[in-house]
Amino acid sequence: MWSLGAPGSSRCRHADPPDQLDEGGRYTFVMAEEKSIYVAGHTGLVGSAILRQLERRGRTSIITASHRELDLREQASVWGFMEQTRPDQVIVTAGTVGGIHDNRSRPAEFLYDNTKIHANVIDAAHRVGVEKLLYLGSSCIYPRLSPQPIPESALLTGPLEPTNEAYALAKIAGIAMCDTYRTQYGCNFISAMPTNLYGPYDRFDPEFGHVLPALLRKCHEAAQRGDGVVEVWGSGRAIREFMHVDDLADACLFLLDHFDEPGPINVGTGVEVSIAELATLLRDLICPGMELRFDPSMPDGTPRKLLDSSRLAALGWTASISLSEGIDSTYRWFPENVAS
Ligand code: GFB
């Protein structure tokens, strides 16, 4: 069955604390109906971080469904689920995701799964009258050679990066769905474009994960083996901007409250590093002294990808977790939760 509420609780409403006196000098309670929220993709890197943020803020009316309970690619199942649960708000984090090698190995699945999931969830949200929906895209929606930092206005102004074109096309279709449902039906559906993410519940897979979790694992295994070499793909010159997923989750809840416009809004840190610098940071923390060996037969992907997040900053939100802090806490989380 679907899960309606925080673990162990049923879907519930809560009251604000006493905040005024009645005529007889007694406190009265102003009942504030808590909005229910469906987090699509709650077991993944982003979805699980959003659940943690919601719970931290005392939200209890949280709706989730595991992949086994609900295949979001199945339209009828998604309609049935939305009819039954009728959330007030939805955050769409679900999808087929992976690093550069996974993207170029399974482009058909990346395009098919993601277009179906996004279309089904967004359309069903409209049908049951969801008040607010936040759709999460990716910085790879922008053209390969965008101006840096990349403004939201760069969307659809040039060719995409070939290694993640299928994923980017699905994500662009998701943004267009939010915008067309807003135009035609008046839905308050918004889209946020996060930069490269990392943190707990990432995919720490050396072959199919994104660079940060993949290299973290490779460094960890090199330290355990003690053989002295960590393989780094590409030239090491590609430049990326990394954000800890807890910062992204905080930004998502901020946007739910403060952003109501069409088109994407960027969510980045403004700080960029080369892949060689990232590999060095990880090596020095996890397996100091070991050799980083670059493999130029693997692709670099987009040469540089730094988001212009000034619109978000103007609304009042900026990231707070530095890359070294974020890597440190992720590596403290990793051994108990993944490596074992
Ligand atoms: O994170 P990543 O896989 O994806 O790779 P993108 C980033 C850079 O790290 C590339 C290099 O230049 C890789 O060649 N790299 C070095 C490695 N060593 C490794 C390694 O061991 N594993 C991996 N994966 N990379 C993604 C898209 O692009 O961006 C996704 O593929 C998504 O779809 C995400 O949009 C935001 O940053 O190139």
Tens of pLDDT, residue by residue over 48-90, are 999 999 999 999 999 999 999 999 999 999 999 999 999 999 9
The proportion of the chain whose per-residue pLDDT surpasses 70, expressed as a percent, equals: 90
| Nearest residue (CA) to ligand 1, atom 22 | 211
- For residue 247, the one-letter residue type is D
pLDDT for residue 5: 43
> Which residues are marked as active site?
167
Across the range 279-286, mean pLDDT stands at 98
Q: DSSP readout, 96-160?
A: ----HHHHHH-HHHHHHHHHHHHHHHHHHHHHTT-SEEEEE--GGGS-TT--SSBPGGGTTSSPP
Closest residue to atom 36 of ligand 1, CA basis: 196
Residue 217 reports pLDDT greater than 60 = yes
Q: How far is the CA of 128 from the centre of ligand 1 (A)?
A: 37
25 or 84: which carries more pLDDT confidence? 84
Distance 65 CA to ligand 1 centre (A): 29
Q: Which residues does ligand 1 sit against, CB inside 6 Å?
A: 99-101, 103, 138-140, 164, 167, 196, 209-211, 214-215, 232-234, 238, 240, 275, 298-302
Write the CB contacts of 184 (distance below 8 Å, at least 6 apart in sequence): none
**For residue 140, which atom of ligand 1 is closest to its CA?**
35
